[in-house]
Amino acid sequence: MKESYDYIIVGGGSSGCVAAARLATASDARVLLLEGGHSHRHPLLDMPPGIFKMINGSKFMRYHRTVPQEHLNNRVHDIPQGNVLGGGSSVNAQVYMRGRPSDYDEWHELLRGDNDYPGWGWKDVLPHFRGMEGNNRLQNDLHGSEGPLLVSDPGHVEDLSRWFVQSVQAMGEPYNHDFNGPAQRGVGFYQFMNRRGKRSSAAYAFIAPLEGRKNFRLELNARVSKINIENGIAKSVTFRDKSGAERIAHAGREIIMAAGALVTPQLLMLSGIGDAAQLKAHGIACLADLPGVGQNLIDHPEVPIIAIANGRYGYFKQGVGWRMIRNGLQFRLFGSGPILSAGVEAGAFVNPIDPDDEPSIQAFCVPIVYLDRDILTLVENTYGLTITTVVIKPKSRGFVKLRSSNPEDMPLVSPNLLKHPDDMRTMIEGQRYFLKAFGKPPLAGKFTKVAIPDPANISDEAIATHCKRFVKTNYHPSGTCRMGPTGDSMAVLDTRLRVRGVERLRVCDLSAMPNINAGNTNAPAMMMGSRCAELILQQN
């Protein structure tokens, strides 16, 4: 029997969930959502800090490893991606960030040369953000309070987070009560996609309400291997279901790619869409010669500053032994305590080079000594603080390429973090800036030492060496199938998210971004899914 739907969405991450929900509820069109990962329903995924128990080696994460990075002394580092319904929204730290209006007005300037341009400026995307948002504090021209995505202030704030906010204010930065408000600059507390100790992922906010709808079908553990194209038209999708059986699902209207900025270009190339020479090298017939597929990989680079506390400050040992029992009881009985925290509560947006210009660095204040694979043996696991500095408008660009023609082989990924000299300069100044915070009260006097980088040597060369050793992804890969106007030879998509040269095929995830937004990318991914569904519905 032929398995047929109107719309097939490949990838149940943040953008795919939103696109599926909008298409399924707008009419009786039959929608199939294919997610290669697992169910999002797990108690450790639901509670704000639970992912720290699962981030290493969890089945809910898929770990891409970069090719050796020559400019980082051939380092290889990980890029974890969600392997679960809801994608990043089910496994991230839940920070709600949209970027700033100038990000999208930049898109507008890049894209408006298209004859069929639908609008990608701030005024065009803001209604999607507002419509999705259910904010527990803000309701105004920039924020919505009735949407399904629950956005809240931090339910618990550690002293280290408060002290960070006060110390950065002492350095001259303004207090910002809303990083998604009129101005991004300043220091303050983030808002988060959760409510009363439960994560509000794209899976909960958008897919859970579809349960029982006859026109919507969800397939978990469904690994797509190919989009089948006939006479220039995307007709069907080949995938293996959770039993291992190979199936083909046909799409009567459109196929929408939402597998993320690393897997979406891989699947396009496996299907014959990409650079003709690369496809030929892997024995794949080229059906649409689009050299931009897999190019323009953009990610936010992050580098840590780690300090060792002289008292029992922060979250060290809060998840083990009697403290774990106490915190669990406090959460269950009173709905309060550390379990309400996502592990990061405060942050800042600053421009250390030109304070009058828009912020160039985002900081995350994490009230623990955060030990990843590169730091594990170098810094004591004890009470302390990690301040992560992030270059939010990087100029470095990388790529995604095929490793082979086998869909089971993960792609070759080279993000080239900090390769552009301007990115390195910005990061060096960001590190210097936040090192100064440890000398301002109330943070001053709370630490025995700054473990990394060495505060006794903050020369450009020393900090650059530190950055090359410890830089890693901020988990925001984007741009690998970017939109562009007519005449842009490297643009994979037109401005309505349609794959050039192939009918009835679109991309709605972060790979479609022409440039990355200044801040966390999860809310923008949801906006992309909503905007894609709107564009589809407008033409039907």
Active-site annotation, residues: 476
Residue that the structure tokens 């507002």 belong to: 130
Q: Which alpha helices (H) appear in 27-135, and where do they start and end?
A: 43-46, 88-91, 101-111, 122-132
Q: CA triplet 521, 293, 540: central angle to 5 degrees?
A: 75
Exposed, middle or buried by CB within 10 Å (0-12, 13-18, 19+), for 494?
buried
Two tokens at 247? 């199936």
d(CA 253, CA 426): 46
DSSP string, 222-290: -EEEEEEEETTEEEEEEEE-TTS-EEEEEEEEEEEE-S-TTHHHHHHHHTTEE-HHHHHHTT---SEE-
Contact 304, 520 (CB under 8 A): no
Using DSSP's 3-state secondary structure scheme, residue 152 falls into strand
What's the sign of the alpha-carbon dihedral 529, 83, 58, 241?
A: positive
**What are the phi and psi torsion angles at 340 (to 5°)?**
-80, -10
Q: What are 224's strand-pairing partners?
A: 239
Identity of residue 152: S
Q: 25: helix, coil or strand?
A: helix
Query: Which three-class secondary structure state does DSSP give residue 43?
Result: helix
CA angle 216, 222, 228 (to 5 degrees): 85
Which of 147, 251, 239 lies closest to 526 in space, CA to CA? Answer: 147
How many other CB atoms are found less than 10 A from the CB of residue 275? 19
Asked if 487 and 288 touch (Cβ cutoff 8 Å), the reply is no
Q: Cα 455 to the chain's mean position, in Å?
A: 31
Centre a 10 Å sphere on the Cβ of residue 22 and count the other Cβ atoms it contains.
20
Residue in this structure with the two tokens 């300090």, named with its chain if needed = 307
- Torsion of the alpha carbons at 203, 205, 211 and 215, rounded to the nearest 10: -90
Q: What would the two tokens of residue 435 be?
A: 């090192």
9 vs 202: CA distance, rounded Å: 15
Q: Which residues, other chains included, contact 257 with Cβ-Cβ below 8 Å and sequence gap of 6+?
A: 10, 11, 227, 264, 267, 268, 481, 499, 505, 506, 507, 508, 509, 511
